[in-house]
Structure 1
């Protein structure tokens, strides 16, 4: 999938043909257990390993502001998105939009079923790696016409990209060329629930800058 990212120096045109969703990526085992229980309340089974690397078709990536989903049971999750461009790692944000009804049957299939929105701006990972834990991910949804804070937390609660990459590659410190990985999320404030409007942000408190992306989900009717 061809994506374009604006950076401080240039525009990157990147072909992503290998998409990895790093699930259960928290550092705090108690927090992971909380998220597992949060999903278990929706009938979603426990993971077979922690962290767990789901594979999703790269053509599910999009930078569009509008996506289509089947039925009204899906929701977004803000995650950092790390990718290899020209032998260097960059970071952006993505939403691991997931069908929660299907997730109760198969997490892997539920992730494949939904498109994954990605922002169109990125930073060099090296520029923020020294204070990675201070970065904040947030998301908002619209409920009854109002924008509501849905997720918020520092990246200190999640494994670093280097740790997740090493776990996936067998010890290497960089993703293969053409690869992108989402790096875990934080819990939903008030519980996981569907929404058709989703705004996500990666905030850098030292440089007072943000990566943001908003998308709207058009619900397609389920027919049998």
Structure 2
């Protein structure tokens, strides 16, 4: 089972054994826009969800803090997200990049979420410390053709997504609000014309009130061709 090690603003480190990993989907706060996005995806062959917002269970070992993601082909990409990490001492908030298999996505979104890791940041904030200004926190992603992500592909804020407290209520209703649960938020819109099938990804969550930021960065490596 994966253990996350998260550095808090006071310098202390919190280790969390991941027991349950969940990926939210279609989780924009404006559900009219979400429905329009579902229609766009349907034209690409991606099946729509039975309900929105959606919530997909993911194998807990896919919660990773890595600098390299290995994939099977060239049609995979990340997604800028935040992550809730529930601990014995409270709820932490960090940044995440949900690396998704776009070729597999047309056969099933849940399948595509289990094909690659959710890469989480190594630093985190206590949710209680930022709850009163969450909508001001920015969420951005960059991609790069080389090892350095240098092209902005996502530029939004937490205001665009359903809140952490919304999801904590959902977890509580289902008996899942317990230490070791990690929930990834769902993502924000990508900039048109930017190649998402890039070699490198960086996601940053920045707090203008405290001046703190947390980020995650990795490169994508394609595996060798299978034999047989």
Q: TM-score, normalised by structure 2?
A: 0.91
Residues in 2 aligned to 1:55 and 1:158: alpha-carbon distance in whole angstroms: 19
Q: Is the 8 A contact 1:84 1:176 kept in 2?
A: yes
Aligned equivalent of 2:134: 132
Q: Alpha carbons of 1:146 and 1:99: their partners in 2 closer, same or farther (altered >3 Å)?
A: closer
Q: Quick check: 79-88 or 104-113, which moved more?
A: 79-88
Aligned equivalent of 2:4: 3
- Aligned with residue 170 of structure 1, among 168, 173, 183: 173
- Equivalences, count: 223
Matches within 5 A, 1:134-153: 134-143=136-145, 147-153=150-156
Aligned equivalent of 2:27: 25
Structure 2 alignment gaps of length 5 or more: none
Matches within 5 A, 1:152-191: 152-170=155-173, 175-190=177-192
Q: Is the 8 A contact 1:53 1:168 kept in 2?
A: no
Large movers: runs of 4+ above 6 Å: none
Q: TM-score, normalised by structure 1?
A: 0.93
Aligned equivalent of 2:211: 208
C-alpha RMSD of the superposition: 1.9
Structure 1 alignment gaps of length 5 or more: none
